[in-house]
Each structure stands twice: as C-alpha cells, then as structure tokens.
Amino acid sequence: NMLSSVTTRSVTSGRVITPVLTRPQTRAYAGKPQPKKTSKVASTKEAIDLTFGSKIDENLSVEEQTKVLLERVHAQEKAKQASGVEEKGRVVQIMGAIVDIEFPRGSEPSLYSALKLPHPLGPEASFDGTLTLEVASHLSNGVVRCISMQPTDGLQRDIEVTDTGAPISTPVGEGTLGRILNVLGDPVDNRGPVPGE
C-alpha cells in the first residue's frame, strides 16, 4: 500500500493540521490491455542464459566462452534465415522520430535493419502503405531504438512491427538519372516506378 502522509502546521494558530493521505496517480489505459512488463536482467551472464537457453560452462576460459557464445549466435542466425520467418515486434515508446520497438529476447534485428509497419494514417499516406524505421541501437531486454524515415503522426504503442532482415535500399543505375527519389528509394516525381538495378 503506497500511501503518503502530509502533515502541516498552521502558521497563524500554531496547531497541527491532521494528516492528509494521498494515493499516487495511475494512468488509465482506456480499455486497452496494459503493456507487458519485462523483467530486468541482473547481470551479463543472466542475459546470456535467457537469450540462449542454457548456461555456458564457467570452467572454460574467457576465450573459450566467447567462442561458444559466437557459435550459438551464428547457429541462431542460420536457423532464422533457414526458416524464412519474419520476426515480429511491437512499439513500446514514441519520441518524435525516435521509436523504441520490443522484440522477443534473442531475435532483435541487426543494426541498420529496416523495420516496417502499416502506416498509421492509412495506405495512401506513403508510397507502399507502410512506415519504415531503421535500427539505430540496441537497448536492454530485447528493445531496439529506431529512427523513423517518415513522420510518426498517428503512431501508437503496441502496433506490430516486422523486421525485413535487410537494410534500407534504393535503386541504382541509369534508370535513376533525372528521377527524384525519397530517402527510401521511392519515386516522388509522379513518373512511375524506377527501373533500377
């Protein structure tokens, strides 16, 4: 029970005013489910155990532990590529053009990967109907910090995000000469698709 007591003394009479009990303010989620809370990781070893599911033998030297860890990382990457399954995350925080996305632990996208989600203002708001984000840094507990390549107006928390597994790419070659493209490589000159390489 988190009650705080406030006691004051009247300046003119000097008598004690009875304590007032207050409750801390809580934020209502207006019918939406509350976001899942993730547990904090106490140490690097605990994070490795949670990510890879089994402990690394502590009797090994640091170099041997590093080698085992890298082998597990490469095995996870190969399994992810072989499955062809796109990883899904969800929006947890929006700060203007900066967006934090939470992925399941161990399946965070690589730095500079492009992430896509349905455009919050509708399919007509962008060339392909999606909002594109680029992974800028990895935070703790499976959260990645991204930079939006388009305005984030209308974006809300808990929207599903897809990892494309590739960086943002734009067409190149002679077909792009004289054309106007945005940062995502989409034509903005109303002259149709760009025949790039």
pLDDT > 90? residue 92: yes
pLDDT confidence of residue 84: 59
To the nearest 10 degrees (0 to 180), the angle between helices 44-52 and 62-83 is: 40
pLDDT > 70? residue 7: no
Identify the CA nearest to 38 among candidates 102, 127, 97.
102
- 5-23 mean pLDDT: 47
- 145-159 mean pLDDT: 93
Q: Cα(69)–Cα(9) distance, rounded to whole angstroms? A: 63
Q: Cα(145)–Cα(98) distance, rounded to whole angstroms? A: 7
Tokens of 175: 């077909």
Comparison of pLDDT for 19 and 147, the residue scoring more = 147
pLDDT > 60? residue 128: yes
**Radius of gyration of the CA atoms of the chain, in A:** 25
> Is 22 in a helix, a strand, or coil?
strand
What's the full length of the chain, in residues?
197
pLDDT confidence of residue 166: 87
- Output the pTM of the full model: 0.57
pLDDT confidence of residue 8: 46
Alpha-carbon distances of 77 from 74, 80, 110, 130, rounded to whole Å: 5, 5, 11, 26
By CB atoms closer than 10 A (0-12, 13-18, 19+), residue 108 is buried
pLDDT > 70? residue 164: yes
> Is 143 in a helix, a strand, or coil?
strand
pLDDT confidence of residue 158: 92
Q: What percent of the chain has pLDDT over 70?
A: 65
pLDDT > 50? residue 23: no
pLDDT confidence of residue 63: 82
Residues 107-121 have pLDDT tens digits of 889 899 999 999 988
Q: Cα(36)–Cα(143) distance, rounded to whole angstroms? A: 13
Other Cβ atoms less than 10 A from the Cβ of 57: the count is: 9
Q: E-assigned strands of the chain? A: 4-9, 16-22, 88-95, 98-102, 113-118, 130-138, 143-148, 160-167
Least confident of 16-30, 81-95, 97-111, 144-158: 16-30
Tokens of 36: 């899942």
